[in-house]
Amino acid sequence: MSARPPKRPRPDEVYRGATRLFAAIILGFGVAMVVITLARGGGLAATGLWIGLLFVALGAGRLYLALRG
């Protein structure tokens, strides 16, 4: 029996995987920003909280769209 070379992924599969990976990273950065801001005593007026929440929304939305389609 001859061993077949491993199948290479199609370019669109690589793109989808990279999109999911970066969406998860952005989501993680957002969660980290919120946690760090709150741990350092930031309240509702803290800029880090709002930017972190925007990152969470962006990452979660992009991940949802990437997994849906």
How many beta carbons lie within 10 A of that of residue 6, not counting itself? 6
pLDDT of the residue at 5 = 80
DSSP one-letter code for 2: P
Within the chain, residue ranges assigned H as helices are: 11-39, 47-68
| C-alpha to C-alpha distance for 26 and 40, rounded to whole angstroms | 21
pLDDT digits (tens, 9 = 90+) for 1-30: 667 888 888 888 999 999 999 999 999 999
pLDDT of the residue at 2 = 66
By mean pLDDT, which of 4-13, 34-43, 47-56 is the weakest? Answer: 4-13
For the chain, what percent of residues have pLDDT higher than 90? 78
